[in-house]
Structure 1
Amino acid sequence: MVEVPDALSTLFSAKVETDGDRYVVEIPKSEVSHGAIAPGETYRVGLLSQVNGESSPAPQPQEPEQDTDPARADTGVPQPPVDEGEIRNVTIESLGDQGDGIAKVERGYVVIVPDGEPGDSPTVEIETVQENVAFASVVDENGQGT
């Protein structure tokens, strides 16, 4: 099993294409629209080889667990990595336009935390989950849980 760090912004499959004297990997538009990545930003890219024929298998990403909640049926679009009522430790990375703390979890998914400051690591309860952002409340400012 491949261990995937929390800092991973996105994971998708794509072909490496030739474009003159360079090679191009196209990023699906859905990765930008879900907020996993942003145009104009710089990212570190890792490539995993495809298993072909008799070559030794390269580490492959593990399939996500099937979501049995009918309200979140598989639409081919990645589902949010958090659930309402979930308790999580997060780290506030920046401030949003309204002054709320912004934390990122798996795949770069954004969690908004009121009154958070960059560097804070509170324990939060996820209150509202949307396709590309969740809203949480602090249950312990020191990140120790309740």
Structure 2
Amino acid sequence: MVEVPDALNTLFSAQVESDGDRYVVEIPKREVSHGALAPGETYRVGLLSQVDGETATSTPEPARETDSVSTSSGVPQPPVDEGEVREVTIESLGDQGDGIAKVERGYVVIVPDGQPGDSPTVEIETVQENVAFASVVDTDGQRA
């Protein structure tokens, strides 16, 4: 089993392509446009092999209807649904000052006014391919 560190910036699927005397893994443009990665920076990269069409992870996640649905490229769908209510933990702040929480597979949930260490219950309002936007519905468990 592979252990995935908490410092994981992003997680995406890509093919290893041959390019003359080297191999290339292309970074999807959305990873840069959403701030997960920055051009010119150096990153530590880990590659996980595909097992039966699913990416190997350190701990199996509970099966969800959306986990088994893939796009035509074989990329898993977001692990959250619009209208879903769940508890998250704010890990950091984004460039705009919003809280950033990560859920299954490193998927990012943006929570307005969240502070690192807060654990609010949120409702997922908008779901995109690699990020969701949520609103706080219950602040129990948030730090004072």
TM-score (norm 1): 0.58
Task: Map Cα deviations across residues 58-101 of structure 1 (whole Å, 9 max, x no partner).
Answer: xx638x8433xxxxx72425422210111222111222343321
- Taking structure 1 as reference, are residues 136 and 4 closer, same or farther at Cα in structure 2, changes over 3 Å only? farther
| Structure 2 partner of 1:99 | 97
| Contact preservation (8 Å) 2:14, 2:25 | no
Residues in 2 aligned to 1:36 and 1:108: alpha-carbon distance in whole angstroms: 14
Inter-partner Cα distance in structure 1 for 2:113 and 2:96: 10
- 1:1-146 matches, within 5 Å, as 7=6, 9-12=10-13, 14-15=15-16, 26-29=25-28, 32=31, 35=34, 37-39=36-38, 40=40, 43-48=43-48, 61=56, 65-67=67-69, 74-76=71-73, 77-143=75-141
- If asked which structure has higher relative contact order (CA below 8 Å, sep 6+), I would say 1
Structure 1 stretches of at least 4 aligned residues deviating more than 6 Å after TM superposition: 16-20
Q: Which moved more, 1:101-110 or 1:24-33?
A: 24-33
Q: Does the residue aligned with 2:68 lie in a helix, a strand or coil?
A: coil
Which segments of 5 or more consecutive residues in structure 1 lack a partner in the other structure? 52-59, 68-72
1:11-61 per-residue CA deviation (whole Å, 9 max, x = no partner) reads: 5354487997xx75524425625749413555554444689xxxxxxxx63
Q: Which runs of 5+ in 2 are unaligned?
A: 58-65
Q: Which has the larger radius of gyration?
A: 1
Q: Contact (CA 8 Å) 1:113, 1:138: kept in 2 or not?
A: yes
With normalisation by structure 2, the TM-score equals 0.59
- Percent identical among aligned pairs is 61
Q: What residue identity is the alignment partner of 2:56?
A: P
CA drift of 1:127 comes to 1.4
- Give the alignment's Cα RMSD to 1 decimal: 3.9
